[in-house]
Structure 1
Amino acid sequence: MPASPARRRSALLGALLALALAAPTTALADTPAPSAGTLTATAATDLRDVLLVGNGQGGTVSFIDGHGFTNLGSFDAVPDLEQRVAEMNLVERAAYEIVNAAQGYRKLVDDIALGPDGRTLYVSRGALSDAVAFDIPTRTMLWRHRVVGFKADHAALSPDGTRFVVSATTAAKAEVLDTATGRPVTAFATGTYPHANDYSPDGTVLYNSSIGVTGLPKALEWAKGPRQVTAVDATTYRPLRTYTFDHGVRPAVFTPDNRTMYAQLSYLNGFVEYDLAAGRITRTVQLPFSDKAARLGPDDYPQNSAHHGMALSGDQTRLCVAGTIDDYTAVVSRPGLTVDGYVHYEPDALPYWTATSADGRTCFVSLANRDQISVVDYATATEIARIPTGRFPQRQRLGRITPTALAALSPRNG
């Protein structure tokens, strides 16, 4: 009898973990930053609001007008792909193939950020296990850092733009990189399979969420390793507090007072409200299954995630929740946590990430299998636009871009 998808993933992840244990975890392959000259500060009035969209399988970053909902162009984030694969030793190549097979596709772009100068692009490149920086106008790679282990995951740019924090999936740590050089400043321990990195709204705390070994079936939740949110000081990276969970912690948002977290958890068709001071779940919101989702088993959920994508409106009154397996987006009012409405998508659209627009009025939802961004109006809980992207859009981040960087983008959608 052929092995089930879950069993195949388990076997692949077991092989990957064996490779991780066998390989050295202290050696970091860094490419020093070439001399790029001093960047001239650009007046704030010259910068344009954009939404950056990481096209995971396409290996590109799409730039969306922050207000007009049009695709302004794209940037190739893997111009060195063939070179990087050719340079891999046997262990690295085996890990590369295992990660791709376990995930079901090759994720070239995982996370992205645009520096405060409006021209430097930072990219966490999942399958290539590295983080890189590009000068957009000249299309120059400024530096490359290979993360510990075999997969680079979610990342976050510090509020002042001086640090890029990347989750090193198989090493159970987050690496903190100097954005000027790409060299590691420090690292801090996380739970198993570190995932998201989120700064608190006031920028004082950095939260790292871990999801556990996603290749194991739900029946083996106990064997997936610590699933937790690790809170560290955003300046010193010293641990402040650890919050433990029974399931992996997916996308989360934090209120401005830094007292409440709303988070999606592995296998939960909805989300939880979490009191950060008390360290406990205060409410669990169950959202309805679609007919398609109701027929799925937990081990059929993509990377254990029923729902994957949360954002908070600019006025903090509404949540935007991506119902990944349900093919909908829910707009939820707070503090009551009542559903205002749903935007329903085509079957298997795979809504996979959300972000709030610069003006706070709309929610951008990545439809990964449609190669589109859905624009949802918070006030009416309706879809008001669709924007084409590159292949398999997922992570989205806000930024502001210079005219010269904008002019250097490819005219393609991604």
Structure 2
Amino acid sequence: MRRFLMLATSVVTLSLTAAPGWSGQAPGLASTPDIPVSHHDRVYAAEQFSNTVSVIDPADNKLLGVIRLGAPSPANFSPLYKGQLLVHGMGYSPDHRTLAVVSIGSNSVTFIDTATNAVKHTTYVGRSPHEAFFTPDGKEVWVTVRGENYVSVLDATTYSEKTRIALPNGPGMQIFSPDGKYGYVCSSFNPEVDIISLADHAIVGKVVQASPFCPDIAATPDGSQVWFTLKDTGKVEVFDARPPFTVLKIMDTGPITNHVNIVRNANGQFAYVTIGGLNEIQVYRTDDFTKVATIPVGKLPHGIWPSGDGSRVYVGLENDDQITAIDTLANRVIANIPIGQAPQAVAYVPNAMPGARASGNEPMTVLDGTANPETDNLQQLGLAGEVAHFTMAPAGAITPSAAKSSTSVSLFDQGLSQVLQAAVTGLEPRHSYVLAFAPKANGSGNLEPIASFMTNPSGAAIVNALGPIRQIVQGAAPDSRRYLVIAPGSTIEVGKAVQVQAP
């Protein structure tokens, strides 16, 4: 055994030194050596409706299992419920040994050991936290408490709150300058980004957001730029990462613009942006902001993160329950991996598993001789993989352009009931609509509203409902079956259907 382990370690050392000609992937420094894709790496996805974290080996793009942090509905309605709810945000420590997972519904940050998949600690913070990230020196964890007005600063050793940084209401996400000098915090409720000094937690600058709702922000490894997305208006904004933090560019990207991340490869430095309403990834150069690629993917792309060498990016498909792997030199999809329900944040953690394999077909073995630790504390996908998918399209003839931006609907199985999520696009901006049942496939007849919503400035919305909906729209007898439609109006007064459930 000892001879095998020494040989395996030597092989790993050789592979790590054979790095490509570029270096420094987000969120690290440009000078940081690249880490080639290997069985030591892990891709994680935070899954909102199954309350799980999927764990993937990117060397063969294989799902190893899920870390179950909570139960599905309706078990989590109980006043005695102790699990996590609405697993959503994700960050990792600079040493790649700890994953921080935010659960919005239970106001928590769960810290997971990447080598064992075991929960090390859970810290409870304020109302509706969104994201958690370690500072570059690994000493603090900043948690944006979006339901309130501050960043909760946790001690990265004790996981307890040490201070709060007061901000305007609704801080959405934070990221740090690679040199550890600044923290950049965008807002989900107010049109401003606050720049904070890590040395003393003081606000040292502000940037005006083109609209209030920013869900995601990224800093370039060369320390020159900060990119952030605006989900409500379908834009991406870029500003100078250094004082006076001048806005450099605002680009129209499309409805439900979700996340952005930075990739460095042999062709240069690029921003990859997930456009949920168009089911595509848009790729921009960071030097002149030109769009160089549009990559079609599955439904409602959300979180995105590069590999340790920038050769790939991994994208969570929120309404397809998959992770998509993209080759960044060819800008094409190379794999789709089934995972849990409604992935939100995605994290690629190089060297998360400090073990070694003799070959790709043999189980992982760590240096203490423990066999196959890669599946420790993981469960099978099970119910978390049960989802029904369909689309809704404009009533009447469906044109190719309308089909591209059609509303996607997922019914996430929770047992006898389902969580419905519709990524609605193609409607009038800032108008009131209802999601409803119709007795006929063409949307005619008496409509029964099940959810009301208002579209954002780009004519899009994310709509949720809960109930035995799949049985009604798919499995019912012909005389009792109903069809999902979208119509203008409210639950009191409903107009004629404008989108209908596609066959």
On whether the aligned pair clears a TM of 0.5, the verdict is yes
Q: Hey, what does 2:186 align to over in structure 1?
A: 209
Correspondence list, 1:250-399, <5 A: 250-276=215-241, 277-287=243-253, 306-315=256-265, 316-346=268-298, 349-399=299-349
Partner SS state of residue 406, structure 1? helix
Is 1:122 aligned to residue 100 of structure 2?
yes
Partner SS state of residue 178, structure 2? coil
Q: Hey, what does 1:144 align to over in structure 2?
A: 122
Letter of the 1:286 counterpart: D
How far is 1:236 from its partner? 3.2
Q: Is the 8 A contact 2:64 2:375 kept in 1?
A: no
* Higher alpha-carbon Rg: 2
Q: Hey, what does 1:98 align to over in structure 2?
A: none
* Sequence identity (%): 21
Q: Is the 8 A contact 2:102 2:129 kept in 1?
A: yes
Q: 1:378 to 1:139 in 2, by over 3 A?
A: closer
Deviations 1:99-123 (A, max 9, x none): xxxxxxx962122344466654432
How far is 1:71 from its partner? 1.7
Q: Hey, what does 2:196 align to over in structure 1?
A: 232
Partner Cα separation in structure 2 for residue 323 and residue 66 of structure 1: 23
Q: Hey, what does 1:245 align to over in structure 2?
A: 209
Letter of the 1:199 counterpart: F
Partner Cα separation in structure 2 for residue 282 and residue 139 of structure 1: 41
Q: Is the 8 A contact 1:119 1:402 kept in 2?
A: no
Q: Hey, what does 1:408 align to over in structure 2?
A: 376
Partner Cα separation in structure 2 for residue 311 and residue 132 of structure 1: 23
Q: Is the 8 A contact 1:54 1:112 kept in 2?
A: yes
Q: Which has the higher helix share?
A: 1
Q: 1:188 to 1:396 in 2, by over 3 A?
A: same
Aligned counterpart for 1:108 among listed residues 86, 105, 130: 86
Partner Cα separation in structure 2 for residue 118 and residue 245 of structure 1: 32
Partner Cα separation in structure 1 for residue 95 and residue 233 of structure 2: 39
Partner SS state of residue 257, structure 2? coil
How high is the TM-score relative to the length of structure 1? 0.69
Partner Cα separation in structure 2 for residue 324 and residue 79 of structure 1: 27
Q: 1:161 to 1:74 in 2, by over 3 A?
A: farther
Partner Cα separation in structure 1 for residue 305 and residue 116 of structure 2: 28
How far is 1:380 from its partner? 1.9
Letter of the 1:372 counterpart: Q
Give the aligned CA root-mean-square deviation in angstroms: 3.2
Partner Cα separation in structure 1 for residue 249 and residue 76 of structure 2: 49
Q: 1:119 to 1:261 in 2, by over 3 A?
A: closer
Deviations 1:205-262 (A, max 9, x none): 21111110xxxxxxxxxxxxx3322222224323222223241333222223433222
How far is 1:143 from its partner? 3.1
User: RCO higher in 1 or 2 (8 Å CA, sep ≥ 6)?
Assistant: 1
How far is 1:87 from its partner? 4.8
How far is 1:273 from its partner? 2.5
